[in-house]
Copies of this chain bind each other. A is one copy, B any other.
Amino acid sequence: MPDPNSSDSGNFTRRIPEGDDRGRLVCDDCGFIHYENPQIVVGSVASWEGRILLCRRAIPPRKGYWTLPAGYLELGESAEAGAVREAWEEARADLEIDQLLAIYSIPRISQVQLIYRARLKSPAVEAGPESQEVGLFRFDEIPTEEIAFPSVHWALKDYRETLDQAVFAPRTAPVVRAPPIAVPGEPDRN
């Protein structure tokens, strides 16, 4: 999916529109104000008899790496319906949503990920157009060295840790310490 916050086309300048309190992208040609909003990603950790559905990406970014079925929520869609749709699009999987597993705020990329715990209604899955292949993995079979995104690691860990809990508060993103910034000529502070 193209980046909705990109301004590759249009001749945009960042300025504060009248009555607003922060800079927005305004088109110099037509005056259109492009509000940049955080985006909602919806997805699932979906299982069949203890095995987890993963999809090997057929598209960038991270083509060839494994991910959970997830993608941008569309207009007019509930979060649960979006998670069900993504599993169908990417793995022809038919899901039943259990509960919200995690809400990962990732401010750096202005994303909020809503990941659901779900059950597959059948083990019949196959690659959709955005997947090279799909599979059902036991925990010890998961290709941990070939995972596409950090949040996939988080979700798999959170899923495993809440597996035996019927009711739990949704997990959140781990607090990530920024990597140390190397300053030339100064000793490494780590």
Q: List residues of chain A with CB under 8 Å of any chain B CB.
A: 2, 4-5, 7, 9-12, 17, 19-20, 22, 27, 29-40, 72-81, 99-100, 103, 105, 107-108, 110, 112, 114, 167-170, 172
Q: 3 closest Cβ contacts across the A-B interface? A: A10-B32, A4-B35, A78-B105
Q: Are B105 and A38 in contact (CB under 8 A)?
A: no
Q: Are B33 and A30 in contact (CB under 8 A)?
A: no
Closest to A11 in B: B30
Instruction: Kindly list chain B residues whose C-beta atoms are within 8 Å of the C-beta of A110.
Output: 75-77
Instruction: Kindly list chain B residues whose C-beta atoms are within 8 Å of the C-beta of A73.
Output: 37-38, 112
Asked whether A100 and B103 contact (CB < 8 A) given A2-B35, A10-B32, A35-B2, the answer is: yes
Chain B min CB distance to A174 (Å)? 13
Closest to A26 in B: B9
Instruction: Kindly list chain B residues whose C-beta atoms are within 8 Å of the C-beta of A108.
Output: 76
Measured CA separation A114–B103 after assembly (Å): 10
Instruction: Kindly list chain B residues whose C-beta atoms are within 8 Å of the C-beta of A22.
Output: 74
Measured CA separation A35–B168 after assembly (Å): 35
